[in-house]
Amino acid sequence: MSILRSVVRGVGSYLPAEVLTNADLTKIVDTSDEWIVERTGIRARHRAAPGEFTSDLAVAAARAALANAGLEPSDIDLVVVATATPDHTFPSTATEVQAKLGITRGFAYDIQAVCSGFVYALTTVDAQMKAGLAKRALVIGAETFSRILDWTDRTTCVLFGDGAGAVVVEAQWSAGTNDDHGLLAAHLRADGRFWDKLYVDGGPSTTGVAGHLRMEGREVFKHAVTNLAEVIEVLFEQTGLTGADIDWFVPHQANRRIIDATGRKLGIDPAKIVLTLERQGNTSAASIPLALDAAVRDGRIKRGDLVMLEAMGGGFTWGAALVRW
């Protein structure tokens, strides 16, 4: 027993009730089901109800993850919410989630790395577990992107959806080998020179209002496959593992073409790729835990499986994490 690892004890997710299909979007902007499906693979997405906030989605996902772990809110000493759509400018959505769950010990904070938020959060929490700062954490990705979309801009409003996913991770002493359960390796990157390729044109310090999402889709696409493959290769080098060793590839669900191209580049069997974007769209920081929950619940991801997570998002930020379930 030589190393503390963050081991996943439970996973859960939540999707708002309202479903917006591509056909629904054709009534709002000049688009077609055919264009959206061909370019992205997306057919539908969920939208939060008026009065339903990011913290509400996060709490529902957290409760499901706690139930899956067989744990109570009082067992948690760290709450981290990865989100780019917080309830308020401050305090953090994580503190609101903490209060709604009735947790009064430990600490809580948000992570802002847009679509890479869940990978950033898991990696940061792991470092804090190793440093002895926390023992059991809720790591949540939760977003209400519907609130920052420009619903007159067909190039962006068709891509995103609302939702939340959560995992409970616990610090456990482990042997320090690739056979351990938990986070085995992770690598994070950012390059702020590209901040204006995917950003929101508002904020407390600039315009004083939340603003709307703006994106140069082609620029994002161009960098995505190269950046994602780069961080995954780092993990393969660190661990000595290869694409053939991966049981499940759980990518951030932005675009089917990005996912397929990344999988091909890394030699990952398409049958091992977990896809949820068809019914959920791009839920930013929520997409990886939503996909994890789907694959655990339908019996694909089982204890002992090796799972590769990867994401890229605004900033640009990107990263990958290798987890043994």
Question: Residue 241 Cβ, how far from ligand ACO at the closest point, in Å?
Answer: 24
Determine, following the binding rule CB under 6 A, whether residue 313 of this chain makes contact with ligand ACO.
Answer: yes
3-state secondary structure of 324: strand
Catalytic site residue from 46, 181, 187, 252: 252
Interface pick for ligand ACO out of 21, 31, 128, 172 (rule CB under 6 A): 31
Determine, following the binding rule CB under 6 A, whether residue 217 of this chain makes contact with ligand ACO.
Answer: yes
Question: Residue 134 Cβ, how far from ligand ACO at the closest point, in Å?
Answer: 28
Using CB under 6 A, which of the segments 50-58, 185-193, 252-260, 302-310 binds ligand ACO?
252-260
Distances (CA, A) of 111 to 185, 188, 222, 281: 19, 13, 25, 21
Determine, following the binding rule CB under 6 A, whether residue 158 of this chain makes contact with ligand ACO.
Answer: yes
Determine, following the binding rule CB under 6 A, whether residue 232 of this chain makes contact with ligand ACO.
Answer: no
Instruction: Specify the residue, 86 or 313, whose C-beta has the smaller distance to ligand ACO.
Output: 313
DSSP, residue by residue, 54-105? HHHHHHHHHHHHHHHHT--GGG-SEEEEE-SS-SSSSS-HHHHHHHHHT--S
For residue 186, the Cα-to-chain-centroid distance in whole angstroms is: 14
Using CB under 6 A, which of the segments 63-71, 83-91, 184-192, 248-256 binds ligand ACO?
248-256
Determine, following the binding rule CB under 6 A, whether residue 212 of this chain makes contact with ligand ACO.
Answer: no
CB-based contacts of 128, cutoff 8 Å, min separation 6: 78, 134, 137
Q: Which run of H or E residues covers position 124?
A: helix 117-130
Nearest to 83 by CA among 135, 15, 139: 139
Asked whether the bond before 91 is cis by omega within 30 degrees of 0, the reply is yes
- Residues noted as catalytic: 115, 252, 282
Q: Which residues bind ligand ACO (CB under 6 A)?
A: 31, 35-36, 39-40, 115, 154-155, 158-159, 198, 215, 217-218, 220-221, 224, 252, 254-255, 258, 282, 312-313
